[in-house]
Structure 1
């Protein structure tokens, strides 16, 4: 459990910080520095390999960190929405945890809600 908590904390911080201006400027600076060094290395394959490998590794790791943070954010939003449904008189409690239902159930509920909206819409 401790490892999971640490990973979640790192993922949240990384996702938050990677969206800040300084992170973009750092990435941009890295690419500019790499491009400027091109003539010194005669634009060799090794020179190209440095940026390709670096960006691949960073992208690979960021996918997992950002996905973890996104999953937790989505889960928190779903729980908040479920609480609003539960606490609202007249709401359809069958919508609670709808995201865990199969596609058929979701499609059926979507159709029922669309039909209910059409019935309530004023005639034009």
Structure 2
């Protein structure tokens, strides 16, 4: 049962993100705002008139957060898996770089600093950064 719900939400989130990220969806949203603005004089710019747009946009924003986060999580996971496969497949690549997303922020910062040092050394030496010069302290 959980898998069915999970799969249904995945499909719904993907389709919703594609639809709501389109130019047509933006045009539709602009049309809703325009209609709302044009009805202002009819409703004397009442509190109820304002509440309609406030409530509607709040609900849409709240729901969109979950749809966007779901699609972002899936896309990030897929990208990491693809990169991990590339690292695994390359003979000279360091397999320690697989699953870097699991490192702490401090460990990532340390690794980033080591790569900056490799680049600076290569610039000083007038060479390309070596594929074989490895930063230390991974995991």
Normalized against structure 2, the TM-score is what? 0.85
Structure 2: which 5+ runs fail to align? 127-139
Decide which structure has greater helix share. Answer: 1
CA distance in 1 between partners of 2:94 and 2:108 (Å): 14
Give aligned pairs, total: 124
Q: How does 1:1-124 map to 2 (within 5 A)?
A: 1-121=3-123, 123=125
Report 1 or 2 for greater relative contact order, CA contacts < 8 Å, sequence distance ≥ 6. Answer: 1
Q: CA deviation at 1:96?
A: 0.3
Q: CA deviation at 1:63?
A: 0.6
| 1:29-87 C-alpha deviation (Å, 9 max, x unpaired) | 00000000000100000000000000000000001001100110011001111111111
Structure 1: which 5+ runs fail to align? none
CA distance in 1 between partners of 2:107 and 2:10 (Å): 31
